[in-house]
Chain A
């Protein structure tokens, strides 16, 4: 697309056959020279337009990505925050320590738990909501869509604070509803078996609006003729869903799965505000452990090794998803 704009914008716009253009030799050479001059200014303009972004990107993204890798091989600590260059290289020490670290393994397990349960639930419920919204209902669609999407736009801190109160065993919403039926509820966030499922429930609740909106856009792009044809051929609702909807939503599914998984692998705010990683490290996630080591204890070299390990895991899982979820026909 970009190539056509630079090579032959005039031909494309006038719609004239190229022979006529060439035959008009009088206008040929000056126009070509003008085009080359224009290309020259485009190089300069392109870079001038890119500079502000690249400067910020280089300082706050590219450099830190490299620096993080370098730091992961050092004993970077609190004193190095003011004097970074006096840090000592320790080779692979951080990494060997990391793989022997019981707490880190615990954090990895908790993160995996959060992802393996949370991602399918989020995507599944988002898909269900989208399918329901896309079905024959004709009124209140916007109303429902806005309602389902609302948790996505609200501050995670506010949401976590509210949920902590919702789950409160004494005065909370859930225990209140249960009390109406004469039931009692456990203390969700103080139980090492229930704390993580509670965080997952909250994350699913908060995030399912995102896949819903994407799936809804995907569903609306499926031509109604395709559906009608399948119905005429005698396909039931389940068959139509499996053979028409799911395959045609594959690209959306891929995007949603990748984005949601990356987000969930980096889960931090939910445990930070709601449980602080407890009880007994049962909700300590990798990112929270990294934050704790880096900013509470200032073991920044160690925390960098943790960040990089997590990044490699994220990258590997993303690549796997791209490989296995991609449309096999293309």
Chain B
């Protein structure tokens, strides 16, 4: 009796301990599996970038070596120098930056203005306008390509910065995003300002905009990135290499059939220069990216 009583709790404890341990072990192996899968995935996702970055600094001998050389035996800037001889990279870089800054500024202002009106003002025609914005989200860019090109030609704006900026200066996505965020600003705040005699511009500029700064940051990043990476439209409206943005300059160089030997190094150097700025921006501000996507997708 006494022995039975003394052993039963002991075995019970041992049993629960062993099951707990088994569960912990199972969870640990489960975690190991997940980390392994994720690491393999990450390797696949980042390998092309690593390959690009390493290749950009390899000598031509290393690039064409067989068996392949993974880490450069000798680091060189030769491909960047060669690239600078063929392409005016600083100019294209400035073009891309200037266009992206203007497009971003336009979107921040115009989209937040309409976003404010749609979220907080009651006016005739509000519903159809919001319908237009939602519809515009669904229309593929390619549909408007040809008439837009003819329009630009008629305006005499081909090969101008205006042609690169104006069609993107106010996007439907921005309006949608700003409307979603501005809707969450408490109405009481705006009404209090109205009672105090503030006009709508003052309310928008001094009260609403400061409150939706995170949304503005998200929109700014997305627009800047979109503009920086934009390709088809700049390709169509610019013929003058002086107006090429960085991706267009790289693409015209990349698909040029008269390239010389060893151009893979130059191409990787070019791709490196195109990717690097946006990658740095992304890594520093990554929180806004994922937040912005989630908000735009789910609200």
Q: Which residues of A contact B (CB under 8 A)?
A: 1-6, 9-10, 12-13, 38-39, 41-47, 49-50, 52-54, 56-57, 59-65, 67-68, 71, 76, 80-82, 84, 129, 132-133, 135-137, 140, 142, 144-151, 153-166, 168, 170-171, 173, 175-176, 179-180, 205, 209-210, 213-214, 216-218, 221, 251-252, 255-256, 262, 265-266, 268-269, 272-273, 276, 287, 290-291, 294-295, 300, 303-304, 307-308, 310-311, 314-315, 318
Contacts and interface: CB of A to CB of B under 8 A. Distances in A.
A60 B167 contact: yes
Interface in B138-191: 138-151, 153-154, 166-167, 169-170, 172, 175, 183, 187-188, 190-191
A68 B146 contact: yes
Interface of B: 27, 30-31, 34-35, 37-38, 41-42, 44-49, 51-52, 55, 63-64, 66-68, 70, 109-111, 113-114, 116-117, 119-126, 129, 132, 136, 138-151, 153-154, 166-167, 169-170, 172, 175, 183, 187-188, 190-191, 194, 199-201, 204, 225, 228-229, 231-232, 236, 246-248, 250-251, 254-255, 264, 267-268, 270-271, 274-275, 278-279, 282-283, 286, 289-290, 293-294, 297-298
A273 B117 contact: no
A56 B293 contact: no
A290 B232 CA distance: 12
Given A5-B122, A57-B132, A161-B267, A300 B144 contact: no
A162 B289 contact: no
Contact of B250 (A56, A84, A158, A310): A158
A162 B139 contact: no
Contacts of B52: 158, 162, 165
Nearest to A268: B232
19 contacts: A2-B119, A6-B122, A13-B188, A42-B121, A43-B124, A46-B122, A54-B129, A63-B151, A132-B38, A133-B38, A136-B27, A136-B31, A145-B290, A155-B246, A162-B48, A165-B267, A216-B294, A252-B297, A295-B149
A106 B219 CA distance: 39
Contact of B271 (A161, A171, A221): A161
B250 A287 contact: no
A113 to B, nearest CB: 18
A173 B268 CA distance: 13
Contacts of A38: 194
A154 B226 CA distance: 10
A42 B123 contact: yes
A154 B110 CA distance: 26
Contact of B117 (A50, A133, A144, A156): A50
A38 B169 CA distance: 31
Given A137-B35, A166-B51, A214-B293, A46 B298 contact: no
B192 to A, nearest CB: 8
B142 A310 contact: yes
